[in-house]
Amino acid sequence: MADNTLKVVSTAKAHGGMQGVYTTYSDACACEMTFAVFVPPQALERPCPVLWYLSGLTCTHQNVMDKGEYRKRAAELGLIVVCPDTSPRGDQVPDDATNWQFGKGAGFYLDATEEPWNVNYNMKTHILEELPVLIGKHFPADMSRQSVFGHSMGGHGALTFALANPDRFKSCSAFAPIVQPSSADWSKGAFARYLGKDQAAWRAHDAVALIEDGATFPELLVDQGTADGFLEDGLRPWLLEDACKAAGIPLTLRMQEGYDHSYYFISTFMDDHLDWHAQRLGA
Amino acid sequence: MADNTLKVVSTAKAHGGMQGVYTTYSDACACEMTFAVFVPPQALERPCPVLWYLSGLTCTHQNVMDKGEYRKRAAELGLIVVCPDTSPRGDQVPDDATNWQFGKGAGFYLDATEEPWNVNYNMKTHILEELPVLIGKHFPADMSRQSVFGHSMGGHGALTFALANPDRFKSCSAFAPIVQPSSADWSKGAFARYLGKDQAAWRAHDAVALIEDGATFPELLVDQGTADGFLEDGLRPWLLEDACKAAGIPLTLRMQEGYDHSYYFISTFMDDHLDWHAQRLGA
């Protein structure tokens, strides 16, 4: 049962701040969950704003911690960066081990409604409800200032979380997001299994559909590599561009020449995104 | 047999430059060897100087490539960064799988003289003789401008390579180097097995001994974390400090409060080291 405690897995000084890894028992996911928190040096003196980074398919909290290159600039800007996992974990959690687009590593930032997935696959409640309580309790965080960004499946998570919660998040950006998962080759199968066959229920977890249905946000930043092998089938940023244009949401969509879908792409534009959020968080 | 060709394992655009991974057959190591090369954007217009990064125990070329955070600043400064492996590899290469301080992942940047290790464990010749030919042939490199740095065992490699080749390397620095491997708990066993029991032969691969025996270098930069768990038994930077003082070699030794032995430490001070080398390379 959740008791709002966390266990320290590791901490290390980095760029003047502290990179930690923690676990907590999640009621929503009915398992122990791991997440990473970087605390900048400014937090010794004052509460700092919180930037959530949501990772892509197959990732854990660790990929961006190793390869994202966010700590130097976050330490300069005074941002707490929280990196959750991408799915429930553990031997008792059902999975489809042959499918990297479903099950473990592929939680899609939603609450599943279909059995047996609905027992554990509730990443939306874990990240939007459980973790903020923990972060606010255990870290020097100003929870009135939160922003969110992410990569690929995590870009989908960032966009949908922000569009559904515009009062909570001051800003939102994404690297190569899945903008319309209901129709993308690599996500529609997962949506059917997590949420059932009635596609009306999918729209609350689809950025383009949310915008079509009236959700809005002050402005969005999206970077997308032109050499990304998933551009045509999975990502299709032009769908978000069309939806934002029709809804009057200012979108800065930058097509980055020659970049692929990897952390080499993410790390290259990480500082730009941190600057974007810091400005809007008053960091 | 070596034919000065390389095979491309992967390339990806990063920070405006290109991070590649390559393999080549090494005569010195009698096996296929992997290495990483980052080429900055300036190399499209002019040959760029080469900075060698030598990794620590248990690492491959990949650890620093993932966690070192060197690409952004190297791209700004116009530095080619080459990251070799730390030992020969392959099923036919003898190893001591129970010992992380010897065998695979622990080549110690020397040429072994003892059987059976002398067949493959010749990282000194691989890095000082073979790889420079390949880099000069296949990359837009100005081989008249080379520098070297490294971490832990790789800091030992950087110091000994520079002290033994002061005409080749314009500058040398190290993160938490093993400064006197002949006497350090975690290296003297490897030296005995690679080089034999006559410790006179060890001195050519020991930075403090090289300095005591008359080797010199214009100046050295060393960063060392005060929370490094290996400080007392393996690293002991004060031995280098004493040797440099006696020999009149200017050493900038910075004890970094609260940092451990990990890539969190390395990445924090990476930019400082890149700046140090760029200045001395005329980059």
Nearest CB among B16, B71, B260 relative to A12 is that of B260
B15 touches chain A (CB under 8 A): yes
CA distance B29 to B126: 7
A45 lies in a domain? yes
> Residues 230..269 of A with a Cβ closer than 8 Å to B: which?
258-260, 262, 264-265, 267-268
A15 touches chain B (CB under 8 A): yes
What mean pLDDT is predicted for residues B58-80? 98
Give the pLDDT means over successive 10-residue stretches in chain A (283 positions). 80 98 97 98 97 98 98 98 98 93 97 98 98 97 98 98 98 98 93 97 97 98 97 95 98 98 98 98 93
Is A14 in Cβ contact with B265 (below 8 Å)? Answer: yes
Count the Cβ atoms, other than its own, within 10 Å of residue B246: 10
Mean pLDDT of chain B: 97
Asked whether the beta carbons of A86 and A106 are under 8 A apart, the reply is yes
At residue B186, the pLDDT reads 86
E strand map for chain A? 7-14, 17-26, 31-39, 48-54, 80-84, 141-151, 169-175, 220-225, 251-256
What mean pLDDT is predicted for residues B91-112? 95
Nearest CB among A14, A258, A268 relative to B264 is that of A14
Q: Which residues of A touch B19 (CB under 8 A)?
A: 264
At residue A283, the pLDDT reads 87
Nearest CB among B72, B227, B264 relative to A19 is that of B264
A2 lies in a domain? no
Please name every residue paired with A53 in a beta bridge, in sequence order, or none if there are none.
A149
A1 lies in a domain? no
Closest listed residue to residue A83, CA positions, set A15, A45, A131: A131
Please name every residue paired with B12 in a beta bridge, in sequence order, or none if there are none.
B19
What mean pLDDT is predicted for residues B66-76? 98
User: What confidence tier does B9 reach under pLDDT thresholds 50, 70, 90?
Assistant: very high
At residue A3, the pLDDT reads 61
A16 touches chain B (CB under 8 A): yes
What are the backbone dihedrals phi and psi of residue B218, each rounded to the nearest 5 degrees, phi first?
Answer: -60, -40
**Can you tell me the ipTM of this complex?**
0.93
B179 lies in a domain? yes
A172 lies in a domain? yes
Provide the CB-side half-sphere exposure for A232 (13 A, CA).
2
Q: Which residues of A touch B265 (CB under 8 A)?
A: 12-14
B1 lies in a domain? no
B9 touches chain A (CB under 8 A): no
Is A258 in Cβ contact with B13 (below 8 Å)? Answer: yes
Total domain count for chain B? 1
Q: CATH no. for residue A91? A: 3.40.50.1820
Number of residues that this document lists for chain A: 283
A235 lies in a domain? yes
Is B15 in Cβ contact with A227 (below 8 Å)? Answer: no
Structural domain including A274 reads: 7-281
A144 lies in a domain? yes
Question: In the block, which residue shows the tokens 């791991």?
Answer: A34
Catalytic residue annotation of B: 152, 228, 261
Q: Where is B48: in which H helix or E strand?
A: strand B48-54
Coil, strand, or helix at residue B50? strand
At residue A93, the pLDDT reads 96
Asked whether the beta carbons of B64 and B83 are under 8 A apart, the reply is yes
Q: Which residues of B touch A225 (CB under 8 A)?
A: 13
Is A268 in Cβ contact with B15 (below 8 Å)? Answer: yes
B69 touches chain A (CB under 8 A): yes
Coil, strand, or helix at residue A101? coil
* pLDDT higher than 60, residue B234: yes
At residue B201, the pLDDT reads 96
B109-147 pLDDT, tens digit each: 999 999 999 999 999 999 999 999 999 999 999 999 999
CA distance A45 to A38: 16
Closest listed residue to residue A82, CA positions, set A133, A153, A32: A133
Q: Is residue B116 reached through a cis peptide bond, with omega within 30 degrees of 0 on the bond before it?
A: yes
CA distance B25 to A110: 49
Q: pLDDT above 70 covers what percent of chain B?
A: 99
User: What confidence tier does B283 reach under pLDDT thresholds 50, 70, 90?
Assistant: confident
At residue B2, the pLDDT reads 54
Please name every residue paired with B174 in a beta bridge, in sequence order, or none if there are none.
B150, B222
CA distance A227 to A268: 14
* pLDDT higher than 60, residue B259: yes
CA distance A18 to A117: 35
A272 touches chain B (CB under 8 A): no
User: What confidence tier does B233 reach under pLDDT thresholds 50, 70, 90?
Assistant: confident
CA distance B277 to B272: 9
